[in-house]
Amino acid sequence: MLLQPIPTATLAAGRSSGEAPFPFRRRCRRHMLLPIRADSTPISLSASAPSRPAKPAACTADELHYAPVDGAGWRLALWRYRPPRNAPVRNHPLMLLSGVGTNAVGFDLSPGASFARHMSSQGFDTWIVEVRGAGLSTREYDDSAPSGSVTFEDVSGGIQPLNKQITFEATSLQSSGGYASDCDDLGIVALDEPPLLAELSNFFDRIAKLMEEAVVNGNFHEITEKVSVLSEMVESSTIIGPVREESLRLLKNFQDQLDSWERFVATQMNLTSEYNWDFDHYLEEDIPAAVEYIRQHSKAKDGKLLAIGHSMGGILLYAMLSRSGFEGVSSNLAAIVTLASSIDYTTSNSSLKLLLPLAHPAQALNVPAVPLGMLLAAAYPWASCPPYLFSWLNPQISAQDMMHPELLSKLVSNNFCTVPAKVVLQLTTAFREGGLCNRNGTFSYKDHLQECQTPVLALAGDKDLICPPEAVYETVKLIPKHKVNYRVFGKPQGPHYAHYDLIGGRLATDDVYPCIIEFLSRHDGC
């Protein structure tokens, strides 16, 4: 009897019939294979055996694995992309780590804009790690995802929200009936009638202030009454036609967002135990579990991995190197690439300084988790369409004309999750003297980077407002010069690169990816 992977056709047939494609053993830690006879006929298995749930449509990887975190009660979702047969042969698997409050989607936005798929096409056995609380990672008591691995056919369909705890459906302002053709009318009416322009400007200014008041004070019932007053104002105002209809619709949209936020706040006490982890839990428990799992299931000759980290993912890699330098042990990383990452923001004008007010302990107790995914999904329609109340949001993510609008919308709507306040609070130490430190403030992660023995490529975007080039360099200069390469993408006259453009920008495939591949290839030898 031979053991062979399940054919794609078999999987497709199982999914289309509504049945799970094959059985599994919940405690199995090995790659799961369907017994096949020598004549390629599948062996009939007991009907009483439990069935593996169908693969979530959100997962567009070749395989979906679950790595247990011993003692933590979590199983981390690992998205695996196998190299095609004609790809170059590599010596080390590649691990991808994403930013704070994000999942695997950012590395695999679509078949034509997939960093993970591109790296696998270059011969790298590519794994995206979703840390606890992100994407498809589950708690041990969740029976929907067994430990082990499952092989699936590639699915390039629509990506669904991955955050199970809180989901928010974002609706574009242009999705309402007829509004796409009325946008110009809105501007023409306002420009032709100065009194209407002033009244409309005042109207949206009052909405913006109400939103800020609701978030800061939590006085949802009072805000609801004020929104009702605004609705009456619009009903009785001189605004007519599409302007009036759109104003009323925006008010309804705003009211729905307030309701969602109020429901979230009402469950905060229950979330305290659900989101009880910090950055050090990722570093000390999740990443080691993922690294060990990947080592066991890949063909690394020396047991080492290549790794790429974006934003907080790169911070985790820097922290790993600092820890290994302090302990005088190998990092088990053959080389790393950091994208828009730093462990010291003190000299930069990063927009993440907006997180600093959250550092007050009382605020952390009142808000144990920040619904980043819900907030961004709610804000995005207001940032991308008239009246552009949140026009500041898009440049935080992507520079002008660097991402296709549909991909940017997919990224904002599907890539972000809920973040524990403890994670946010620990990350704010990167803005204080000494840079990022551990949870009790006794270890600074920048102190031992000078002992780094792992080759590092640090990349920055010239228009990155979250992690500006000066922040990236603040960490780079701590690493021995013969071990680090530093580069800033973007030109004075354009094109420019913002925070996500290094991964998903329209020019990244031609500009950024070759730089990364050349560096990793150079350090892939055993």
Residue 433 sits in a domain whose CATH number is 3.40.50.1820
Greater confidence (475 vs 56) lies with 475
Greater confidence (499 vs 261) lies with 499
Which among 281, 275, 289 has a CA at the least distance from the CA of 332?
Answer: 289
Q: Answer for the pair 203, 231: CB distance below 8 angstroms, yes or no.
A: no
Residues 341 and 280 in one domain: yes
Query: What is the Cα–Cα distance from 347 to 446, expressed in whole angstroms?
Result: 14
Residues 296 and 340 in one domain: yes
pLDDT value, residue 398: 92
Greatest mean pLDDT among 95-99, 218-222, 296-300, 411-415: 95-99
pLDDT value, residue 326: 94
Residues 280 and 419 in one domain: yes
Residues 247 and 312 in one domain: no
The structure tokens 């490529």 sit at 457
pLDDT value, residue 469: 97
Residues 134 and 205 in one domain: no
Residues 103 and 217 in one domain: no
Residue 285: pLDDT band with limits 50, 70, 90: very high
Alpha helices per DSSP H over 275-401: 279-281, 287-297, 312-327, 361-366, 372-384, 393-397
> Residue 481 pLDDT more than 90?
yes
pLDDT value, residue 257: 59
Position 167 in a domain: no
pLDDT tens by residue, 152-163: 333 333 333 333
pLDDT tens by residue, 345-390: 998 888 877 656 555 544 544 566 777 777 677 666 666 665 555 5
Residues 114 and 250 in one domain: no
User: Which DSSP string do the residues of 287-308 spell out, in sequence order?
Assistant: HHHHHHHHHHHS--TTS-EEEE
Among 269, 299, 333, identify where a domain stops.
Answer: 269
Residue 29: pLDDT band with limits 50, 70, 90: very low
Residues 422 and 459 in one domain: yes
Q: What are the Cα distances from residue 64, in Å, to 81, 135, 156, 239, 420? A: 9, 12, 15, 53, 25
- Residue 497 φ then ψ, to 5°: -120, 125
Q: What percent of the chain has pLDDT over 70?
A: 58
> Residue 105 pLDDT more than 90?
yes
pLDDT value, residue 413: 84
Residue 9: pLDDT band with limits 50, 70, 90: very low
Which among 276, 289, 278 has a CA at the least distance from the CA of 66?
Answer: 289
Residues 128 and 208 in one domain: no
- The pLDDT of 287-294, averaged and rounded, is 96
Crossing angle of helices 241-266 and 220-236, rounded to 10°: 170
Identify the domain containing residue 445 by its residue range: 63-140+276-354+396-523
Q: Answer for the pair 346, 418: CB distance below 8 angstroms, yes or no.
A: no
> Residue 167 pLDDT more than 80?
no
pLDDT value, residue 226: 55
Q: Which residues pair with 305 in a beta bridge?
A: 333
Greater confidence (138 vs 375) lies with 138
Q: To the nearest whole number, what is the mean pLDDT of the chain?
A: 73
Q: Give me the torsion for CA of 484, 526, 308, 426, rounded to 10°.
A: -70
pLDDT value, residue 3: 36
Residues 136 and 217 in one domain: no
- The pLDDT of 114-118, averaged and rounded, is 97
Residue 321: pLDDT band with limits 50, 70, 90: very high
pLDDT value, residue 221: 54
> Residue 259 pLDDT more than 80?
no
Position 124 in a domain: yes
Residues 201 and 94 in one domain: no
Position 444 in a domain: yes
> Residue 340 pLDDT more than 90?
yes
Total structural domains in the chain?
2
Query: What is the Cα–Cα distance from 378 to 213, expressed in whole angstroms?
Result: 16
Among 269, 293, 327, identify where a domain stops.
Answer: 269
Position 176 in a domain: no
Residues 216 and 342 in one domain: no
> Residue 513 pLDDT more than 90?
yes
pLDDT tens by residue, 407-433: 988 898 888 888 888 898 899 899 989
> Residue 449 pLDDT more than 90?
yes
